[in-house]
Amino acid sequence: MNSLGGLHTSMRRRRASVVFVLITLFIDVLGIGLVIPILPKLVQSLLGGEVAQASFVFGLLVSLYAIMQFFCAPVLGALSDRFGRRPVILLALVGLACDYVLLSLAPTIWWLVAGRIIAGACGATFTPAGAYIADVSPPEKRAANFGLLGVAFGLGFIAGPALGGVLGATSLRLPFMVCAGLTFLNFLFGLLVMPESLRPENRRALNVRQMNPLGAMRAVWRYGSVAALVPVFVAVQLAQQGLQSVWVPYTTYRYSWDVAGVGLSLAIVGVLSAFSQGALVRPVVARFGEQRTLMISLGVAVVGMLLFGLSSQGWMMYAVTALYCLGLGLLNPAVQGLLSRAVPPTEQGLLQGAMTSVMTAAAIVGPLLANGSFALFISPEAPLSLPGAPFFLNSLLCLGALALAWRGTRGFAVAHEQPTPLRPEYEVEALAA
């Protein structure tokens, strides 16, 4: 009887810890979304109202945040594989709270630079959060639980700009104070309810060669299933990041949407994506399995991107958005589920760090491809006027991902395989277990 009560207590604590991880990711993304309407104005106020200079500096701050995430994600992954998920997540929350305090008090632009450096480093909580979900989820349920991470991500992007706009109307610094308070409360919540998910026998030594994006990718590439799926993940991320970047200029140019129309469309995207990942992933994966779910979602992405580029009226974009978001919401959880099953428990943080770096790199390259092709094909010098060019390019990327997935996932192993051995010089460890 006592053992049964202990089991129930353990299950409640585990559920509470999963909720904590979801709240952590939500607050992280909330802060990203909150910055969108507020930080440009704060930069402008610190620079004396100079719009052109403020726009340039804001772009540098955004790039700095992405660069820090790119390089720090594998570091957090390696640290979480060595010391556990709990201390890394809690430490990152402290860093994020400090960032928001810096932004709320910043007297000069250099305080913002310091804040964005801290935020980029600590904002890579996607890495230990994803590893935590992999630790506590049975292999057959990982895709569904990764879908919950997608829900938290989508809701954060819906709430962030809205909260920033409402609170920013009172004071440009108030939203950052609110986020600092929420992050600190979440830290206290995790300190009280979050158990460690990584068992002592699954911890591994730190390897300095794997604590960078290239080293982390090289390490997980040893697994054949990972090597088959990473190109799929890269192509899809390039298409997704390009879609997000070109959406506003495209709809404004082609359909004359105003700010309210663009905002409504983005809110619909967030709601539909959250619904798809929260309500559809579990039953669809249970019915078709992760591999067929991946193929279905990629097929929807190919068609959806093509229809975006062909839509001649604004209302058509809403119809295509419904199809695209409901299908694409299945994609990332299916990929994450398959990837997490390809590596052992000792390397989940390593894997998540490598994938987070891939996402960040795609966030840099994808917009250049999409916005560059859009600018090229609407310019007077273009050989033909083709404003839908970025969507056609994205459709081709998704089609390539579909072909790679079809070829690479045939006969996929359901459990992690043995890796290809590394060369001896690559196996030097910096710290003994």
Q: According to the model, what pLDDT value does residue 367 have? A: 84
Looking at the structure, tell me whether residues 224 and 186 fall in a common domain. Answer: no
Whether 428 is in a domain gets the answer no
The domain of 223 spans: 212-416
Last residue of a domain, one of 133, 163, 194: 194
CATH of the domain at 242: 1.20.1250.20
- Contacting residues for 191 by C-beta, under 8 A, at least 6 apart: 90
How far apart, in whole angstroms, are the C-alpha atoms of residue 198 and residue 211?
19
> Tokens for 43?
């930069």
Whether 204 is in a domain gets the answer no
Looking at the structure, tell me whether residues 48 and 144 fall in a common domain. Answer: yes
Task: Bin 431: left if φ > 0, else alpha if -120 < ψ < 50, else beta.
Answer: beta
* Alpha helices per DSSP H over 276-313: 281-310
Looking at the structure, tell me whether residues 190 and 286 fall in a common domain. Answer: no
Looking at the structure, tell me whether residues 168 and 236 fall in a common domain. Answer: no
CB atoms within 10 A of CB 98: 18
- Contacting residues for 402 by C-beta, under 8 A, at least 6 apart: 295, 298, 299, 301, 302
How far apart, in whole angstroms, are the C-alpha atoms of residue 19 and residue 27?
12
Q: According to the model, what pLDDT value does residue 132 have? A: 87
Looking at the structure, tell me whether residues 74 and 154 fall in a common domain. Answer: yes
Last residue of a domain, one of 194, 229, 260: 194
Looking at the structure, tell me whether residues 238 and 155 fall in a common domain. Answer: no
How far apart, in whole angstroms, are the C-alpha atoms of residue 112 and residue 182?
20
Whether 288 is in a domain gets the answer yes
Whether 331 is in a domain gets the answer yes
CA atoms in the 13 A half-sphere facing the CB of 135: 31
Looking at the structure, tell me whether residues 250 and 161 fall in a common domain. Answer: no
How far apart, in whole angstroms, are the C-alpha atoms of residue 129 and residue 110?
30
Whether 206 is in a domain gets the answer no
CA distances from 272 to 155, 247, 325 (A): 10, 16, 6
Looking at the structure, tell me whether residues 168 and 271 fall in a common domain. Answer: no
Whether 1 is in a domain gets the answer no
Looking at the structure, tell me whether residues 228 and 334 fall in a common domain. Answer: yes
How far apart, in whole angstroms, are the C-alpha atoms of residue 88 and residue 106?
26
Sign, Cα dihedral of 362, 363, 366, 368 = negative
Looking at the structure, tell me whether residues 407 and 337 fall in a common domain. Answer: yes
* Number of domains into which the chain is organized: 2
Polymer length in residues for the chain: 433
Q: According to the model, what pLDDT value does residue 301 have? A: 92
Whether 165 is in a domain gets the answer yes
Helices 281-310 + 142-168 axis angle, to 10:
60
Helices 126-136 + 142-168 axis angle, to 10:
140
Whether 201 is in a domain gets the answer no
Looking at the structure, tell me whether residues 158 and 221 fall in a common domain. Answer: no
Q: In b/e form, how buried is each residue of 33-51, taking b as 16+ CB within 10 angstroms?
A: bbbebbbbebbbebbeeee
Query: For the chain, first and last CA: distance in Å?
Result: 38
3-class DSSP state for residue 382? Answer: coil
Last residue of a domain, one of 194, 220, 239: 194
How far apart, in whole angstroms, are the C-alpha atoms of residue 245 and residue 234?
16
> Tokens for 397?
């990327």
How far apart, in whole angstroms, are the C-alpha atoms of residue 408 and residue 350?
22
What is the C-alpha radius of gyration for the chain, rounded to an integer number of angstroms? Answer: 22
Q: pLDDT tens digits for the chain (433 residues)?
A: 445 444 455 556 666 777 888 888 888 778 777 776 677 778 888 887 666 677 678 777 877 888 888 888 888 888 989 999 889 989 988 988 888 898 889 898 899 889 888 888 887 677 888 888 888 877 777 777 777 777 887 788 777 777 777 787 788 888 888 888 888 888 888 888 888 888 888 888 888 888 888 899 998 998 888 888 999 999 999 998 888 878 878 888 888 887 677 777 877 877 887 788 778 888 888 888 888 889 999 999 999 999 999 998 888 988 898 888 877 778 888 888 888 888 888 888 889 888 888 888 888 888 888 888 888 888 888 788 898 999 999 999 999 999 999 887 765 554 445 554 444 333 333 333 3
Looking at the structure, tell me whether residues 53 and 142 fall in a common domain. Answer: yes
